[in-house]
């Protein structure tokens, strides 16, 4: 496993270059299997875990199933100090009696100050820890003033409950505005942005705010070079198997000619390197000019082992150029 440093200019720490996503732990992935996956990840040198306060509240669980499984595993293994834990707030149900959805009428709890403060403490309780290394706003909340949201995250940092803060599913201009607001308030800015990113890219869509655009990556590069670190974390980099499985359709906006050509070249490069297409995608992300931290999800140890094979994979510059050129 390889490692990199993430931070916000005030707080920083080292994480593994692959982050383990735990969305289905406690629901689709039973606790015994979840423990085995966590054990294997740590055995391979993994240190970065990603969860949320609403995994998995859309039909199979009650919302904190993943946090609870991780909490029990941490208590049993006694290895909290070896790990970096990230969870999220803002996209759990505001009204438990209504569906959780991201189209109007939305039913997200949002990123008001009271919600952020209360949910952070609930996450600490379910995880069984005294601090969160990283704490994200799960979905940008345009209905709450940025000053309130930024101030609430800053207060948690001042209290020692949170290390680095971040935001997910957000427009670039909101990231910039939030970081400027943090400077005005004298608190640490967001050090993490978690967006969807994979090797294929979607059609342009004015309504899509969850994509790690080239503009975001360029902003992250410039910010980091200027001494104000901003790391990009990529969720669903393998599109839950859709890049390699014929039985899984490509996600909305991705089924277009360039994607099909990219997948053809991806398979060629994988065959030439002796790696799997999934491993090549992950290596393409971690070894990019603006390195990205991919979140990998697995429902078995065997699946995880394949993905771990990307941790030390370096793509030949000529092969990377072929991938980029499509």
Residues noted as catalytic: 55
Burial class (CB in 10 A: 0-12, 13-18, 19+), 46: buried
Grouping H, G, I as helix, E, B as strand and the rest as coil, residue 142 is coil
The backbone region for 253, taken as left when phi is positive above 0, alpha when psi lies in -120 to 50, beta otherwise, is left
Nearest to 265 by CA among 255, 277, 274: 277
Element (H, E) at 3: strand 3-7
Instruction: Detail the DSSP E strand segments found in 120-271.
Output: 132-137, 162-168, 192-196, 231-235
Are 18 and 309 a contacting pair, CB within 8 Å?
A: no
Element (H, E) at 33: helix 31-43
Of 41, 30, 38, 47, the residue nearest 70 (C-alpha): 38
């Amino acid at each position: 496993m390889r490692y990199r440093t993430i931070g916000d200019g005030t707080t920083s720490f080292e994480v593994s270059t692959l982050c383990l996503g735990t969305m289905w732990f406690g629901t689709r992935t039973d606790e015994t299997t979840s423990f085995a996956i966590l054990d294997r990840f740590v055995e391979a040198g993994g240190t970065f875990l990603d969860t949320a306060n609403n995994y998995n509240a859309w039909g199979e669980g009650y919302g904190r199933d993943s946090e609870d499984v991780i909490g029990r595993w941490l208590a049993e293994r006694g290895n909290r100090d070896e790990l970096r834990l990230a969870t999220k707030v803002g996209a759990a149900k505001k009204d438990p009696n209504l569906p959780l959805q991201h189209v109007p009428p939305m039913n997200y709890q949002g990123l008001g100050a009271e919600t952020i403060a209360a949910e952070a403490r609930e996450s600490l309780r379910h995880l069984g820890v005294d601090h969160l290394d990283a704490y994200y706003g799960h979905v940008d909340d345009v209905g709450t003033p940025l000053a309130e949201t930024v101030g609430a995250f800053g207060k948690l940092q001042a209290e020692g409950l949170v290390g680095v803060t971040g935001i997910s599913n957000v427009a670039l201009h909101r990231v910039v505005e939030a970081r400027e607001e943090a400077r005005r308030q004298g608190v640490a800015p967001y050090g993490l942005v978690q967006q969807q990113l994979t090797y294929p890219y979607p059609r342009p869509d004015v309504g899509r705010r969850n994509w790690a655009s080239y503009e975001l990556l360029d902003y992250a590069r410039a910010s980091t070079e200027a001494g104000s670190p901003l790391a990009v974390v990529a969720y669903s980099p393998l599109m839950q198997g859709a890049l390699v499985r014929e039985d899984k359709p490509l996600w909305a906006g991705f089924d277009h000619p360039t994607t099909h050509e990219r997948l053809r070249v991806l398979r060629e490069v994988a065959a030439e390197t002796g790696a799997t297409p999934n491993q090549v995608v992950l290596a393409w992300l971690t070894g990019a000019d603006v390195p990205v931290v991919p979140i990998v999800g697995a429902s078995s140890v065997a699946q995880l082992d394949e993905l771990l094979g990307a941790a030390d994979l370096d793509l030949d510059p000529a092969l990377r150029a072929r991938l980029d050129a499509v």
